[in-house]
Amino acid sequence: MKREQDLLHADPHSRIATTHDGAAMALDPMHLDLLARDASPSGRGRLLSDLSRLMLVDRQADPTELEIFFDIVRAILAGTAVNDRRVFSETAADHAAVPRDLVLILAEDEIRVAEPVLTRSALLTDDDLMALTERKNDDHRLAIAARTRLSQAVCAALVRLGSVAVLHRVGGNDGADLADETIRELQAHAERDPELQRILGERPDLPELLARCMRNTLRRIASRPQPETAEVPAAKPAAPPAVERSATVRPLRSPAADERPEVVRLLERVTAGELTASAVVADLAAADRHAELASFLGSFADLDETQVMRVLVRADSVGIATVARGLDIDETAYAAIVELRQRRLKFSAAQSRWEREHFERLDAVEARATINQHGSRRARA
């Protein structure tokens, strides 16, 4: 305690703080000495508060003074009341001079004490935050999820271990760097959580996040070796006359034997030029016939029906928007798809508006290239 006593009994003129009107505050050495002799929680709390104000707020202490002060804090912190520790945590969260070991002690404390440093301290590393996420409870995870910047590793830990409230906070944090796997996990939760759907839909970077996730997923699918299956030669029905479509989209294939009869008839009418694909899509979506809609789009794009059905009812709309844009489905017909999705997924009007605007921004050439690259799934299934 020799160094601590040196601090408490040093030159009084260098230890007295003043108020705005110049009146001396009760921070003279005699006052501090009296507090140091009071071992009660309230006495320790007053000592912590007064020294913190003197060393970290009212004046710029030199390194030696700070070293002695933090030694005092280590000695008395555990014996102070929760409210006093909370006040110190508020100061420590934004002060670069506070040693990291003290910040960690505060972060491990109950949430009333830990919250300021968990949400704001720059001294906590990703390893610290992930360890706290693993070790502490959901209140601590909520505080961590509110930080202005969250790395991919911390986001992954929070989404893996956190409650619904934690997922909402991570999803709504614009500073959260979400990895592809974390995006997919949030999407999976969002399929059962309309509020999370809304939160994700309002992220300004959502189009870029989902587009990146989809591109990476498609690359992985395309890179997988396809199983070789023996095919039994069979007479193929004559191909219907070709309908005029964009040269970059693969031509309509002949209907399969197990195709839905009504979908086959619709395909034939589109091929014959009696109907447009957009008109068929609009009618099926307006009638809430999602199975037939997925079958028609899959047949028209030469994609597997189950894949189209999956993207049709997913929380995010990137997949179905890419299919529709690549097939030159017009905006009116796509609006009908969005209305079908809204009825089934119960998302907000804001999400519905975002999905229509996202579709309008999609590049048709890129969408057609994606369909051409990943078509013919049925033949390889």
pLDDT given at position 368:
84
Confidence class for position 2, pLDDT limits 50, 70, 90: very low
pLDDT given at position 32:
54
Q: What does 253-302 look like in DSSP terms, one character per residue?
A: PPPPTTS-HHHHHHHHHHHTTSS-HHHHHHHHHHTT-HHHHHHHHHHHHT
Residue 59 has pLDDT above 80, yes or no: no
pTM across the whole model: 0.52
Confidence class for position 378, pLDDT limits 50, 70, 90: very low
Residue 165 has pLDDT above 80, yes or no: yes
- Residue 198 vs residue 15, higher pLDDT: 198
Residues 272-280 have a mean pLDDT of 90
- Residue 129 vs residue 223, higher pLDDT: 129
- Average pLDDT of the chain? 77
Write phi, then psi, for 249 (nearest 5 degrees).
-95, 140
Closest CA to 255 of 210, 209, 306, 299: 299
- Residue 198 vs residue 125, higher pLDDT: 125
Residue 173 has pLDDT above 90, yes or no: yes
pLDDT given at position 169:
95
pLDDT given at position 250:
39
- Residue 282 vs residue 53, higher pLDDT: 282
pLDDT given at position 139:
95
pLDDT given at position 213:
56
How many alpha carbons lie under 13 Å from residue 183 in its C-beta half-sphere?
Answer: 22
Residue 95 has pLDDT above 70, yes or no: yes
Of the ranges 26-35, 128-137, 263-272, which one carries the lowest mean pLDDT score? 26-35
Closest CA to 164 of 147, 145, 184, 136: 145
What percent of the chain stands above pLDDT 70? 72
Residue 348 has pLDDT above 90, yes or no: no
The sign one gets for the Cα dihedral 106, 110, 113, 119 is: positive
Residues 98-104 have a mean pLDDT of 94
pLDDT given at position 114:
95
pLDDT given at position 8:
45
Closest CA to 306 of 324, 319, 291: 291
